[in-house]
Chains A and B, each alone.
Chain A
Amino acid sequence: MKTDIPSLLQRITDGDETALAVLFADYGAKVYGMAYTVLKNTSLAQEVAQDTFVQVWKNPAAWNPTKGQFSSWLLTVARYTAIDRLRREIRRTGQDVELHDEIASAENDDSLLRQLESNHVVTLLHHLPTEQRRVIELAYFQGMKHSEIAEFLQSPLGTVKTRLRLGLQKLKDLLNNQ
């Protein structure tokens, strides 16, 4: 039986901590996985994952069922929370390039790589030209904007926009054709 999300969220609205524990049991590994993928740091990922669930606890009505699955929404909250935290860390340490480089080295993490490679979407991502895949990864997992990617890769802004658009369009087509 799937968790009945609306009733779980209603219980959270009523301040039911068991409901929060159930939500964590169901989604904790997904949320923590997203936070870690963005931050590549266990302590920061833990804080971000906790912040994500606390956001749900404080405002369970933020999820609008007409706009998509709860899981996708929760992961989007986790991703943006992680990206905000990443930006704060970059501002705090002033280690823009080093931090991004460290995160980019996720490709060297064998365990993570194996899990990623076993994933369907990531498999499709590897069908894209390297330069398109790279801008998607920078945008999606590191929260970079067009102009930031251009600066980071030392590429013309127009080129970055085109690569990102074509890459995402191709990925969407690949997904639709499955």
Chain B
Amino acid sequence: MRDFEHLRELIPAYVIGATDEDESRMVEAGLTDYPELAEELREFQFLNDALAESVPEMAPPPEMLGQLLTAARGSRPAAHSAPKILPRPAQRQVKISWQLVAACLTLFLVLTNGFWLYRASVPTVKEIVFQGNPEAELIGLRCRIIVSPNSDSAIMIAENFPLLEVGQTYQVWMRRDGEIVSLGMFIVDEAGDGLLSFTADAINQPFDSIGVTIEPLGGSPAPTTPSVVRWTSI
């Protein structure tokens, strides 16, 4: 039987990974002998987490997201299923190329060089909770807009959107002072996700609401269908 008190004294260092190899082995073996040692471990785990969270956020280089997506694509494990091609006639439009997505995001982040520098102090990642019809809420339909306060560009990430029929596109609208303007169009992949880049000015100025409708491919000059989802500015 190992000396409980000695093992207990090693727990704080063990939790932050500071025990030498032989000490770590002793602690791990002791955890099976003494249940109260596991409790001690849990208490210090809280401290370990607090130390981790104490590290200040820092702006990653602007090109990093694009590089990450490229690296991820190159290291996709076998466990990941191949992209699902659903047997549906929709989306004969040009599909989103993820190389293009990565390039767009990279370009966006390069253009918005200061984005990450502001992230720690300014809430630059805006989350828009769409309040649409019950069906939209049921499927967890969601959008978020990433924008830098000193940039010309913004990116909207759409998630869990319903798949489109042939010849359709999603179109994003903004209502400001009673006037409705189009922010652009996007289509979604098999997972229901899509991206749209538009000028940041559009949402940096006060507005009433943003909505997404389904329109004919190529877009419409004004909404022709009810909003799939809508966000009203607070």
A54 touches B77 (CB 8 A): no
Which residues of chain A are near B45, meaning CB under 8 Å? Answer: 68
A50 touches B67 (CB 8 A): yes
Q: Which of A111-166 contact B (CB under 8 A)?
A: 112, 115-116, 119-122, 136, 139-140, 143-147, 149, 161, 164-165
* Residue on B nearest A33 in the bound complex, by CB: B58
Which residues of chain A are near B57, meaning CB under 8 Å? Answer: 29-30, 32-33
B46 touches A172 (CB 8 A): yes
Please give the distance in Å from A87's CB to the nearest CB on chain B: 12
Tally A residues with Cβ within 8 Å of B.
69
B119 touches A29 (CB 8 A): yes
Q: Mark B144-157, 1 if CB is under 8 A from A, else 0.
A: 10100000000001
Please give the distance in Å from A82's CB to the nearest CB on chain B: 10
**Which one, B47, B65, B83, B98, contacts A175 given CB within 8 A?**
B47
Say whether A5 faces chain B, with CB atoms less than 8 Å apart: no
Say whether B221 faces chain A, with CB atoms less than 8 Å apart: no
Which residues of chain B are near A22, meaning CB under 8 Å? Answer: 144, 157, 159
Q: Which of A7-60 contact B (CB under 8 A)?
A: 7, 11, 13-22, 24-26, 28-34, 36-37, 42, 45-46, 49-50, 53-54, 57-59
Q: Which of B1-56 contact A (CB under 8 A)?
A: 9-10, 12-13, 15-21, 23, 43-56
Q: Contacts A72-B53, A139-B16, A146-B23 known; A21 to B157 CB distance under 8 Å? A: yes
Which residues of chain B are near A121, meaning CB under 8 Å? Answer: 50-51, 53-54
Q: Contacts A16-B191, A121-B54 known; A29 to B120 CB distance under 8 Å? A: yes
A36 touches B18 (CB 8 A): no
Please measure, in the bound complex, the distance between the C-alpha atom of A42 and the C-alpha atom of B119, giving whole angstroms.
17
Say whether B59 faces chain A, with CB atoms less than 8 Å apart: yes
Please measure, in the bound complex, the distance between the C-alpha atom of A45 and the C-alpha atom of B52, giving whole angstroms.
16
Q: Contacts A17-B69, A29-B119, A72-B52 known; A145 to B61 CB distance under 8 Å? A: no
Say whether B195 faces chain A, with CB atoms less than 8 Å apart: yes
Please give the distance in Å from B111's CB to the nearest CB on chain A: 16
Say whether A64 faces chain B, with CB atoms less than 8 Å apart: no
Please measure, in the bound complex, the distance between the C-alpha atom of A164 and the C-alpha atom of B23, giving whole angstroms.
14
Please give the distance in Å from B60's CB to the nearest CB on chain A: 4
**Which one, A36, A68, A146, contacts B49 given CB within 8 A?**
A68
Most interface-central of B51, B65, B119 (chain A CB within 10 A): B51
B18 touches A122 (CB 8 A): no
Most interface-central of A7, A21, A24 (chain B CB within 10 A): A21
Q: Contacts A18-B159, A37-B55, A146-B19 known; A69 to B49 CB distance under 8 Å? A: yes
B58 touches A29 (CB 8 A): yes
* Residue on A nearest B56 in the bound complex, by CB: A115
Please measure, in the bound complex, the distance between the C-alpha atom of A8 and the C-alpha atom of B57, giving whole angstroms.
22
Say whether B64 faces chain A, with CB atoms less than 8 Å apart: yes
Which residues of chain A are near B86, meaning CB under 8 Å? Answer: none
**Which one, B68, B119, B129, contacts A54 given CB within 8 A?**
B68
B55 touches A33 (CB 8 A): yes
Please give the distance in Å from A18's CB to the nearest CB on chain B: 4
26 contacts between A and B (CB under 8 A): A13-B79, A14-B81, A17-B69, A18-B157, A20-B69, A28-B60, A28-B64, A28-B65, A29-B119, A37-B55, A42-B61, A57-B72, A58-B76, A68-B49, A72-B53, A76-B48, A76-B52, A112-B56, A119-B56, A121-B53, A140-B18, A145-B17, A146-B20, A147-B20, A165-B13, A175-B50
A interface residues (Cβ-Cβ under 8 A, vs B): 1, 4, 7, 11, 13-22, 24-26, 28-34, 36-37, 42, 45-46, 49-50, 53-54, 57-59, 68-69, 71-72, 75-76, 79-80, 83, 112, 115-116, 119-122, 136, 139-140, 143-147, 149, 161, 164-165, 168-169, 171-172, 175
